[in-house]
Amino acid sequence: MAVSNEDIVQQFCGAWGDGDTATPDVERILDMFAEDGEWALWVPGPTIKGRTEIRAEIERQIKFSTYMKCGITKIVSAGNTVVTERIDHFTMHGIRVRHALVAMYDLDDSGKIRSWREYFDTADIGRQLGIPPETVIEG
């Protein structure tokens, strides 16, 4: 029985952590990306391209963000595009953050992620962290 694109995205989200594990499974995450895959950290915002840059971004983030859990509340797909609505949780600078977002994943025909885009209110995260809205968050 073939694995569906929705199953692939659920496995990908699971690789980021269960909320109790301090760091994501970086190797598993990278293996789920196409060689030239892209990750738009937020839209509009920076896009990370290729497995080498994606690894560097994950390693940068785990220095200040831990105990992640991608909480999929809804998942739909059409062809090779999968969309999730999520309530994620993570700990940043010692503060537990609740993070609502929508993420879109485009997979190639072999089930690897070609692009991953996340849409959310960056100011909401800043408010939870006590950061003034005019401050740029760089980690």
User: pLDDT tens for residues 65-99?
Assistant: 999 999 999 999 999 999 999 999 999 989 999 99
Nearest to 116 by CA among 56, 23, 25, 29: 29
Residue-range domain boundaries for the chain: 5-129
Q: Is the pLDDT of residue 137 over 60?
A: no
What Cα–Cα distance (Å) separates residue 41 from each residue in 2, 49, 79? 29, 11, 23
Structure-token pair, residue 26: 């970086």
Q: Topology of 5-129 in CATH?
A: Nuclear Transport Factor 2; Chain: A, (3.10.450)
16 and 90 Cβ atoms separated by less than 8 Å:
no
Task: Provide the strand spans (E) within the chain.
Answer: 33-40, 47-49, 65-69, 72-78, 81-92, 95-107, 113-119
Residue pointed to by tokens 């692939």:
8
Looking at residue 45, what is its pLDDT?
A: 87
pTM: 0.90
Q: Is the pLDDT of residue 139 over 60?
A: no
